[in-house]
C-alpha cells in the first residue's frame, strides 16, 4: 500500500481547480441504469470509489467506460441484478444501486455495503422507504434481496434526513406509477444535483434542496450529458490546509454557497476570505484563533466530512475548541494519530476537546478512513519536520491527484509505493 512522505512547515500558495463532487457522481452513475440510452458524466474525478462504481456497473452488464475525464455508461445491455459481495464491500455507495436496479429489473440482490469504517451506518431507512413503494425485502447470508411486481408512488417520512436514503428512494420512484413524496428529506446540494440530472433524463422531480422532495413517476427516461457540481468537501479540505499552513490559495470552480458553514468558521479563525463568481480566495497570515465549538449537522450545518480536517486546524490554533460529531459514532479514529504529532485532544463520547498547541511535530501516522486520512495529511503539511502517512488507499477513494494539487501549492509531499 502506498504512503505519503511529507516535509512540513511550508506556506501554501497558488491556485487549485476543484474536482467534481464524488458524492454527486456516485448516485448519478447509479442512476444511469434507469435508461437504455447513453449517459455521459463529465469531468469525473479519478478516485477509487468511482472506479469501483464503474466496475459494479460492468458487473450489471452495462458498458461503462472512461473517455478522457468523462465516464460514459450504456445500460441497454444490462442483464444482471446482483451486486457481488467483494465490490459491495469496497464501496458503500453500491447501496444506491438498489433503487435503480429494482426499478429496472423488479429485482435486486446486494451484499451489505462497505465504505468507511466510521460507525454503524445502517440502511434501515433505505429499506423502509423502498418497502413503502411496494418492494418486498428479505435478508439472508449478508445479502439484501428486493423484489416487486411494480413500484407504486407513496408518501415516505424519513426518521432522520439521510442523504443515501433520500437518493435511493428518488431513484426507485422516478419510474414508479404515481407520485412519491419524501418528507424530512436530506437537503444536501448533491441531492439537488441528482434531481437536476434525473430531470435532464426526462424525470419529474422537484423540491430537492428542501425537506420535501416530490417525484412524479414517468414511463421512460432518456440519455443525458451532465456536468455534476463541484466537490465542496475537497474544496473545504484545501481551504483548511491553507488556513493551517499559512499562505494564499485560490480555488477555481468552487461553489461558496455550499460551503458557507465552513467559511463562517474560517473567518472566525482569522482567515481573510473573498468570493468572486466561482472562485474562493483565502489568505492566512498568522496563527489561527480557535473557534469555541463545532457541531456536525446535516446540511446546511457543518459537514461531518470536514470534521476531521477542522479538528486538525484546531490543534494548532490559539485557544480551545469542542468538536461534537452528531452523525457517525466512530469518526474520531484519527485522534490518536494526531496525538502522535503532539496534538492535545481528549475524546469523551461524541466530543473532542482540543487545546491548541503552538506547533505539531512530524510523526508516522496511519490513515483509517477517507476524511481522517486527509486530516492527517494537512496536519503533516503544517507540522515541523518530516512525517509519513500510511495506508493512503483510503485517501485515494475520494481525492483525485491529491499530492499533485498540493505540490502545485508548494507543499513538500511525495507518494511512495510500499
**Which one is catalytic: 62, 116, 245, 314?**
116
What is the 8-class DSSP label of residue 318?
A: B
Least distance from ligand UD1 to the Cβ atom of residue 79, Å: 26
- The whole-angstrom distance between residue 159's C-alpha and the CA centroid of its chain comes to 21
Least distance from ligand UD1 to the Cβ atom of residue 76, Å: 26
> Quick check: 91 and 102 in contact, CB under 8 A?
no
| 121 lies in the site for ligand UD1, by CB under 6 A | yes
| 186 lies in the site for ligand UD1, by CB under 6 A | yes
Separation between Cα atoms, residue 249 and residue 112, nearest integer Å: 41
Nearest to 349 by CA among 331, 367, 365: 331
| 164 lies in the site for ligand UD1, by CB under 6 A | yes
Least distance from ligand UD1 to the Cβ atom of residue 96, Å: 8
User: 277-290 b/e with 16+ CB inside 10 Å = b?
Assistant: eeebbbbbeebbeb
Q: Is 314 a catalytic residue?
A: no
- Rounded to 10 deg, the angle between the 22-31 and 232-245 helix axes is 170
- Which H/E stretch holds residue 274? strand 272-276
Nearer to ligand UD1 by Cβ, of 290 and 402: the residue is: 402
Nearer to ligand UD1 by Cβ, of 88 and 327: the residue is: 327
What is the 8-class DSSP label of residue 248?
A: E
| 104 lies in the site for ligand UD1, by CB under 6 A | no
Q: Which of 162, 224, 269, 309 binds ligand UD1 (CB under 6 A)?
A: 162
> Quick check: 243 and 288 in contact, CB under 8 A?
yes
| 123 lies in the site for ligand UD1, by CB under 6 A | yes
| 369 lies in the site for ligand UD1, by CB under 6 A | no
Number of residues that bind ligand UD1 (CB under 6 A): 21
Nearer to ligand UD1 by Cβ, of 74 and 167: the residue is: 167
Grid cell in block for residue 397: 477513494
Which sequence positions are flagged as catalytic? 116
Q: Using CB under 6 A as the criterion, which residues of the chain lie in contact with ligand UD1 when the complex forms? A: 23, 26, 93, 120-126, 160, 162-165, 186, 190, 304-305, 327-328
Amino acid at each position: 500500500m502506498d504512503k505519503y512522505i511529507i516535509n512540513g512547515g511550508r506556506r501554501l500558495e497558488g491556485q487549485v481547480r476543484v474536482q467534481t463532487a464524488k458524492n454527486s457522481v456516485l448516485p448519478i452513475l447509479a442512476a444511469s441504469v434507469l435508461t437504455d440510452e447513453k449517459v455521459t458524466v463529465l469531468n469525473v474525478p479519478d478516485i477509487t470509489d468511482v472506479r469501483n462504481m464503474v466496475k459494479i456497473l460492468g458487473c450489471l452488464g452495462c458498458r461503462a467506460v472512461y473517455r478522457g475525464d468523462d465516464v460514459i455508461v450504456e445500460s441497454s445491455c444490462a442483464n444482471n441484478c446482483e451486486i457481488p459481495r467483494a465490490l459491495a464491500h469496497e464501496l458503500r455507495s453500491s447501496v444506491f444501486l438498489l433503487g435503480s436496479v429494482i426499478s429496472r429489473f423488479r429485482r435486486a440482490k446486494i451484499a451489505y455495503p462497505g465504505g468507511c469504517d466510521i460507525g454503524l451506518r445502517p440502511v434501515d431507512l433505505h429499506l423502509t422507504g423502498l418497502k413503502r413503494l411496494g418492494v418486498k425485502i428479505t435478508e439472508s447470508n449478508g445479502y439484501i434481496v428486493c423484489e416487486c411486481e411494480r413500484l407504486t408512488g407513496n408518501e415516505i417520512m424519513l426518521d432522520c434526513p439521510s442523504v443515501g436514503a433520500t437518493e435511493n428512494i428518488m431513484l426507485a420512484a422516478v419510474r414508479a406509477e404515481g407520485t412519491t413524496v419524501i418528507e424530512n428529506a436530506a437537503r444536501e446540494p448533491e441531492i439537488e444535483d441528482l434531481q437536476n440530472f434525473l430531470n435532464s433524463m426526462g424525470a419529474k422531480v422537484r423540491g430537492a434542496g428542501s425537506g420535501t422532495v416530490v417525484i412524479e413517476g414517468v414511463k421512460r427516461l432518456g440519455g443525458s450529458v451532465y456536468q455534476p457540481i463541484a466537490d465542496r468537501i475537497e474544496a473545504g479540505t484545501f481551504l483548511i490546509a491553507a488556513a493551517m499552513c499559512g499562505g494564499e490559495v485560490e480555488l477555481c470552480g468552487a461553489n461558496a454557497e455550499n460551503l458557507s458553514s465552513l467559511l463562517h468558521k474560517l473567518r472566525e479563525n482569522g482567515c481573510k476570505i473573498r468570493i468572486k463568481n466561482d472562485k474562493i480566495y483565502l489568505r492566512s497570515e498568522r496563527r489561527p484563533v480557535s473557534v469555541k465549538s463545532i457541531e456536525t449537522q446535516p446540511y446546511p450545518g457543518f459537514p461531518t466530512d470536514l470534521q476531521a480536517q477542522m479538528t486538525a486546524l484546531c490543534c494548532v490554533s490559539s485557544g480551545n475548541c469542542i468538536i461534537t460529531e452528531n452523525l457517525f459514532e466512530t469518526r474520531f479514529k484519527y485522534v490518536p494519530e494526531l496525538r502522535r504529532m503532539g496534538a492535545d485532544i481528549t475524546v469523551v463520547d461524541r466530543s473532542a476537546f482540543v487545546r491548541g498547541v503552538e506547533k505539531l511535530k512530524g510523526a508516522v501516522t496511519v490513515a483509517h478512513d477517507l476524511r481522517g486520512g486527509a486530516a492527517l495529511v494537512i496536519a503533516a503539511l503544517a507540522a515541523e519536520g518530516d512525517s509519513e502517512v500510511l495506508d493512503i488507499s483510503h485517501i485515494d477513494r475520494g481525492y483525485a491527484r491529491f499530492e499533485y494539487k498540493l505540490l502545485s501549492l508548494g507543499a513538500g509531499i511525495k507518494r511512495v509505493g510500499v
